[in-house]
Structure 1
Amino acid sequence: MVAGLPSLNGLRAFECAARHMSFTKAAEELNVTQTAISHQISRLEDELGVQLFLRLKEGLTLSEHGQAYLPGVRAAFHELRYSTEQLLASSNNSVLTINTLVSVASKWLLPRLPSFQQAFADIDVRVSASTDLVDFRKGGIDAAIRYGRGDWKGLRADFLMSDEIFPVCSPALLNGAKALSVPADLAHHTLLQVSGVTADDWGTWLSAAGQPAQLAAGPRLTFDLAMMAVQAAIDGQGVCIGRSTYVDDDLRAGRLVAPFDLRLQDDLGFYLVTPRETAETKKIVAFRTWLLAQR
């Protein structure tokens, strides 16, 4: 049995062949012959003193030893690839890739980014918007703005802000026969809301406002994205249950108004999230410092 580390070529051939469960496909990926793959794995088995694959008539399968060995080998190659990507990325500190929700990007981050670009003209900012939690090890993402409790394992999370929840509407809805003056007037208007984790916002706010539960069962329009619900409110299509992150700029610009004083504080919040191993790189520190000043 080998005393030190076995052949790296053999380990690479083993991981690739196990992933495809085929010597032929492993040879194609590694750009060598099938015979070379077979020889490398045979030498690895000789070094280890165990059989890693069972060569059966119906095909290739891992032996009991191979099944036990594969997870560690696969994890080691994953770490090597990730470390190499990080090393290469660190040589290009001019590119900062940020991932966040579509509505956060559109309604909050993008209007503020010009000031970051003015302060750090040497950093090329790229924004990736999605609803999925980003895999920092695979996605080429430097930092993300996430919504939650800030307890993501293995990641640094810096609190940015939490939302206040309250109705907003077009200024035009404050006048006319169906003017909004008290919460009970909402019965005469379409309620605009966003699906997903914020789908209960109307029910929560109406309950806090002392309104009957049936008021929340009236006409509604539901959107996948907060930015769409906010735009519908600006267009006068109804009253949106707003969150401060998405509506504050429109309130300041006069495109929206808050017809009632009651605001509820959300117990979740937005965080800047970064891998711990890259959290102190120059470009991320610059972005974090700037972002925290925007609160």
Structure 2
Amino acid sequence: MKIPPLNPLKVFEVVARTHNLTTAANELLVSQSAVSRQIAVLEEYLGVQLFTRERVGVRLTDVGEVYAQRIGPAFEEISQATQFITQKYSDNVIRLRTYTTLTARWLIPRLPRFKVQYPDVEVDIANSSAPLDFGTEKCDLAIVFGEGHWPDADATLLLEDVIEPVCSPAFLEAAHGGLRLPEALHGKRLLVSKYRKNDWPTWLAHAGLDGVYDKAEKMIFSSSILTWQAAMDGLGIAIGQQHMLDADIRAGRLVRPFASPLRTGKGHYIVTPSLQRYSSKIASFKDWLLHEAQETPAPATA
């Protein structure tokens, strides 16, 4: 692949387009003599004359005309590609990728406060549970559940993952003998979220009840939101993520029968590409998210 020096090539493109050395120099923010030197470098590299001087401006030679027609579209393509990459950092839209549960239970109730602080900034939210890949996704940042490690990305902990059983007050009251101890889960219907199906076995192992899950009657739902709604309606007992259910617990829609939370070692992280052009809007949004997380009530303890 034979490619001439790129700086002289860019100078040639501007002179060929403007037909004037002075105009080209002004566009390139250099002197006219610097433009002439770069053209000379390119002509020496190619071994041909690209311009002839006229009384007013310059004129492309026949070979220069052909060369300009071939490289002009290439520079236009480079310009459009660069604009596509950088545009998202100059507009007033923040493109956030997260997932439905966190969006509905934690983020949306807080977004009005962000709009008060930044009324001109839009937050475009895309929900997905697919593996994160900034190379293919059009997002500025993501909130992802995991252990904090993603390739080619920087991660900052937003919310620690803390789980424990929750149920409705009516279910607790109706439970034969109450639900004072985890052993009372024997014979109770367990409500399970498809995407958090390991939460029950993990918590039961923590409580020393490894065999309960396999023997229990289970009702499986496609999302955590549906699972918690089923718990509020008295269908059984679910595993709750404390940060997502704080409002429901404070309002009395759900209760913590055992008051035995478990930190899973995972969390919800703010994830950004390792190589990302600085953007004040993204930095402000990230700082706002972290501030809101600090204002979120600390996980309850036993």
Q: Distance in 1 between matches of 2:165 and 2:132?
A: 31
Structure 2 gaps of 5+ residues are 10-77, 294-302
Q: Any residues of structure 2 matched to 1:210-249 within 5 Å, and which?
A: 210-211=208-209, 213-249=211-247
Q: Aligned pair in 2 of structure 1 residues 139, 177: CA closer, same or farther (>3 Å)?
A: closer
Q: Distance in 2 between matches of 1:233 and 1:82?
A: 51
SS at match of 2:150: coil
SS at match of 1:278: coil
Aligned CA-pair RMSD: 2.6
Structure 1 gaps of 5+ residues are 9-78
Q: Distance in 2 between matches of 1:224 and 1:86?
A: 36
Alignment partner of 1:176 out of 174, 177, 182? 174
SS at match of 1:267: strand
Q: Any residues of structure 2 matched to 1:135-284 within 5 Å, and which?
A: 135-178=133-176, 179-196=178-195, 198-211=196-209, 213-278=211-276, 280-284=278-282
CA contact (8 A) 1:230 1:246 kept: no
Q: Distance in 2 between matches of 1:273 and 1:101?
A: 13
Deviations along 1:93-145, one digit per CA (max 9) or x if unpaired, are: x1111110111111111111111111111111111111113443443211110
What code does the residue aligned with 1:193 have? Answer: V
Q: Any residues of structure 2 matched to 1:44-63 within 5 Å, and which?
A: none
Match of 2:57 in 1: none
Whether 1:4 and 2:4 are equivalent positions in the alignment is yes
1:82, CA displacement in angstroms?
A: 6.5
Whether 1:89 and 2:84 are equivalent positions in the alignment is no
Based on CA coordinates, which of the two structures has the bigger radius of gyration? 2
Deviations along 1:251-280, one digit per CA (max 9) or x if unpaired, are: 122211100021111111111111234363
SS at match of 2:229: helix
SS at match of 1:121: coil
Whether 1:129 and 2:127 are equivalent positions in the alignment is yes
Q: Distance in 1 between matches of 2:193 and 2:80?
A: 39
**Percent identical residues:** 35
Q: Distance in 1 between matches of 2:280 and 2:288?
A: 12
SS at match of 1:139: coil
What code does the residue aligned with 2:269 have? Answer: Y
Q: Distance in 1 between matches of 2:262 and 2:200?
A: 11
Q: Aligned pair in 2 of structure 1 residues 279, 171: CA closer, same or farther (>3 Å)?
A: farther
SS at match of 1:229: helix
SS at match of 2:186: helix
TM-score (norm 2): 0.67
